[in-house]
Amino acid sequence: MSYKDHPRQSALNDRHLALGSKLDAEWNGMPIPQTYSTDPYEETTIVRSRAGLFDVTGLRIIDVTGSDAETMLNAMLTSDVSMLKPGESAISNIVDDEGSLIDDVLVYRDGPQAFRLSHGGGHLEEALPLFTEGHDVTIAKDDDVHILSLQGPLALDILKPHTPLDLAGLKYFRHARTTLFGFDVSLARGGYSAERGYEVFCGAKDAVAIWDAIMEAGKPFGICAASWACLDIVRVEGALLFFPFDMPKPDTTPWEIGADWTVDLDKPDFRGKAALQAKKGKERFRQVGLEILTDQVVAPGARIFHGGREIGTVNSTTYSRHLMKSIGLAHVPPNLAALGTEVEVETDGGRLVANVVRTPFYDPMRLRTHPVEERTA
């Protein structure tokens, strides 16, 4: 199957091919540059020390507008979107009637009656029709939008001379319409790297020109194009969960993955609220980080044992050359989730010793994305 046969296409395909990608992986119906000719570990070093540019257009964007948009979203999502002001965004979740996670969503509020929903491989689009009936709301999938994500400590220095927006003053989870290199864009502070970063939302017709302009502006700063293999390394180092890979059980609740902060039980009724209330405090497992005593990456899905008994799974893994550790995001019973707990991880080469450790593995206080001065401002 050719990459051209997928239903969604990035305008940046030629750039990815020129960088050595075979575009032989796909996500959400779009070919993605899983690797380039460069080493993903070298890309990771550059993202951690300078800046790397990712194409994350594989995300799906849904526009929700109308006088009932806020009411409709509050009936569907676990968080209270009425708390968002225009220009703010937040991570939320969708659960079913039993309180089981079916998608995670990044909600952008663009105006009093205008929202954008960004999601990955979950069931948001199947859930939407359940909530739109009887509401003054319009749902529109935006397959034209392209998302360029510049991540790293020098991302601000690279972009700020080329936009009139006060980019240095744009706080985490904030966004604004502006121009970048003269093109109309929406700029958002955020990303999936555990570094300071900015996501550029633009039209397909401008994506190549903006990509080229960012890469050219970044040359003096040592920028690189960064692959999805690099993205997976940095997001695991940052303990950033990826639906559905970090929620392998179909009946996982937000309580079990440490997403309590996305659930507002004080707001009016929403889908799954009663089930979530009933399941709070009855978690079957906890979300933890594991440091595995090996110099190799462990396969995702590896089974975890304690005292000869199978107790859980390792869901996302990487070997972090930056941290010089084999690490994983895992689910274990609550009584075995204490820091320092020793378990065994089963691999093809036998069982390996692992220990429950603090997450995130990289930047445990999240100072790169949430500087102290912004927390107190």
pLDDT, tens digit (0-9, with 9 covering 90-100), for 241-271: 999 999 999 999 999 999 999 999 999 999 9
Q: What is the pLDDT of residues 306-365, one digit of tens each?
A: 999 999 999 999 999 999 999 999 999 999 999 999 999 999 999 999 999 999 999 999
The confidence score (pLDDT) of residue 1 equals: 82
- Whether the CB-CB separation of 104 and 246 falls below 8 Å is answered with no
What residue spans in the chain does CATH classification 3.30.1360.120 cover?
Answer: 3-57+145-237
Shortest CA distance to 64 belongs to which of 126, 11, 116, 17? 116
Looking at the DSSP bridge assignments, the partners of residue 76 are: none
- Whether the CB-CB separation of 167 and 179 falls below 8 Å is answered with no
Question: Mean of the pLDDT values across residues 94-120?
Answer: 97
Please state, as a whole number, how many other Cβ atoms lie within 10 Å of the Cβ of residue 106. 19
Q: What is the edge-to-edge ordering of all strands in the sheet holding 89-95?
A: 89-95, 101-111, 114-119, 60-65, 138-141
pLDDT classification of 375: cutoffs 50, 70, 90: confident
Question: Mean of the pLDDT values across residues 26-30?
Answer: 95
Give 324's contacts (C-beta < 8 A, 6+ positions apart).
Answer: none
In the predicted model, is pLDDT for residue 100 greater than 70? yes
CA distance 11 to 331: 38
pLDDT classification of 103: cutoffs 50, 70, 90: very high
Shortest CA distance to 228 belongs to which of 6, 30, 2, 7? 30
Question: Mean of the pLDDT values across residues 230-241?
Answer: 98
What residue spans in the chain does CATH classification 2.40.30.110 cover?
Answer: 285-357
Question: Mean of the pLDDT values across residues 62-82?
Answer: 98
CA distance 33 to 19: 9
In the predicted model, is pLDDT for residue 377 greater than 60? no
The confidence score (pLDDT) of residue 373 equals: 87
| CATH hierarchy code of domain 3-57+145-237 | 3.30.1360.120
Q: Of the CATH numbers 1.10.8.350, 2.40.30.110, 3.90.1640.10, 2.60.40.1760, which one belongs to the domain with range 285-357?
A: 2.40.30.110
